[in-house]
Amino acid sequence: MYVTHLSCFKCGKEYEKQKIHQLCQACGKPLKVHHDLKKVRQNLSIDKLVGREANLWRYKEVLPVEKQENIVSLGEGFTPLFHAKNLGKSRQMVKLYIKDEGLNPTASFKARGMAMAVSMAKELGLKKLAVPTAGNAGGALAAYAAKAGMEAYIFMPKDVPIVNRLEAESCGASVTLIDGLITDCARVVMENKDKEGWFDVSTLKEPYRIEGKKTMGYELAEQLNWQLPDVILYPTGGGTGLIGMWKAFDEMQEMGWIDSKRPKMISVQATGCAPMVEIFNSSTPGIEIKNAHTVASGLRVPKAIGDFIMLDILHSSQGIALAVSDSELISGAREISRLEGIFAAPEGGATLAALDKLLTNNFIKPEESVVLFNTGSGIKYLEAFQ
């Protein structure tokens, strides 16, 4: 609608809008979408959001789809921001919140990115989409591809939660189970995509899943009356959500919707797979974890192509990356369920475990406003809770 061009996150090389793009042809890094925010500001204000549909398309002026008929939607976005009073009381915190992404279609935040990726694939005339997935992204792609009448090819580790496989198969996708991790699945997609005519919608290997995920940042600002919190704890696998929210904050500031204040961004991982923690501690992007393991399947991403972007965000926000054990994150998820009635995913539980560590070492102060992201519903992780 108001997209001007795309550019590489790393080298800055520019690309034409409304063309099919994957990674930067110059350096192989992810691309980002640029909008004419001056024009957006002339046509959209905070007041004009009042009364709009309660999904992520309420922010259509800062999204990349140009033609209304290409929008593929299952009602994703505008998930509730709950004031977690019971959890807060147990920690002497007055301003503790949970953004519950488990209430999205397909019961995870992956719906946001896939809604945008599939809508843009439709706009660009693509018919066959493929993705390597740790679990939830596959189900989301399958659902949105079904809605759009496209073919979906899903590659997932053979030990993913059974619900992820059944969800994708039920939506008509071709599902292939791989003996390995998401990185092994990605290699299969890469090796076969040209021959099979697939478009790869892997995390950050196409530019539009970020655009869907950034709406979490817009919603958070709107739900907090355009005042960002002091701290955001975010469970990090590929990191699209973290990167997307930071992009949203920059866009909103440029449009005059928020000021320059930024939350401390906390990247939360599992001790069995914590590449961002190692990268943050060493300032060395490109680290890949060997023998990655965790029951929080969304965190089982041994290497993230956007790790250098996340590292910049963590430093710029005066944030940190830290890891919690599987027992801690399951305990955290159970406590969220018990005290707030939200059946949190293990990844969501990880943020509560991380909060407790950061309260103990005084990195986070009880009086600060803090948002925990629960990125999925616990219903999709039943094996992890048994």
Could you tell me if residue 27 is inside a domain? no
Could you tell me if residue 14 is inside a domain? no
Q: Are strands 14-15 and 3-8 parallel, antiparallel or unpaired?
A: antiparallel
Pseudo-torsion of CA 181, 187, 188, 189, nearest 10°?
A: 110
DSSP 229-271: -SEEEEE-SS-HHHHHHHHHHHHHHHTTSS-S--PEEEEEEET
Q: What is the DSSP letter of 5?
A: E
CATH no. for residue 345?
A: 3.40.50.1100
Could you tell me if residue 154 is inside a domain? no
Q: Give the chain's domain count.
A: 1
| pLDDT, tens digit only, all 386 positions of the chain | 899 999 999 999 999 999 999 999 999 999 999 999 999 999 999 999 999 999 999 999 999 999 999 999 999 999 999 999 999 999 999 999 999 999 999 999 999 999 999 999 999 999 999 999 988 999 999 999 999 999 999 999 999 999 999 999 999 999 999 999 999 999 999 999 999 999 999 999 999 999 999 999 999 999 999 999 999 999 999 999 999 999 999 999 999 999 999 999 999 999 999 999 999 999 999 999 999 999 999 999 999 999 999 999 999 999 999 999 999 999 999 999 999 999 999 999 999 999 999 999 999 999 999 999 999 999 999 999 98
Looking at residue 13, what is its pLDDT?
98
Could you tell me if residue 356 is inside a domain? yes
Could you tell me if residue 299 is inside a domain? yes
Could you tell me if residue 372 is inside a domain? yes
Closest CA to 284 of 259, 310, 265, 266: 310
Does residue 55 sit in helix, strand or coil?
coil
Looking at residue 378, what is its pLDDT?
98
Could you tell me if residue 18 is inside a domain? no
Looking at residue 135, what is its pLDDT?
87
Domain containing 255 equals: 81-104+210-385
- With the C-alpha atoms ordered 50, 56, 57, 63, is the resulting torsion angle positive or negative? positive
Could you tell me if residue 99 is inside a domain? yes
Whole-number Cα distances in Å, 346 to 19, 35, 208, 299, 332: 38, 35, 26, 9, 8
Cβ atoms 200, 189 nearer than 8 A: yes
Cβ atoms 372, 284 nearer than 8 A: no
Cβ atoms 201, 141 nearer than 8 A: yes
Token readout for 361 is 């070492």
**Other Cβ atoms within 10 Å of 26 Cβ, number:** 11
Give the Cα separation of 135 and 110 in Å (integer).
Answer: 10
Q: Are strands 96-100 and 370-374 parallel, antiparallel or unpaired?
A: parallel
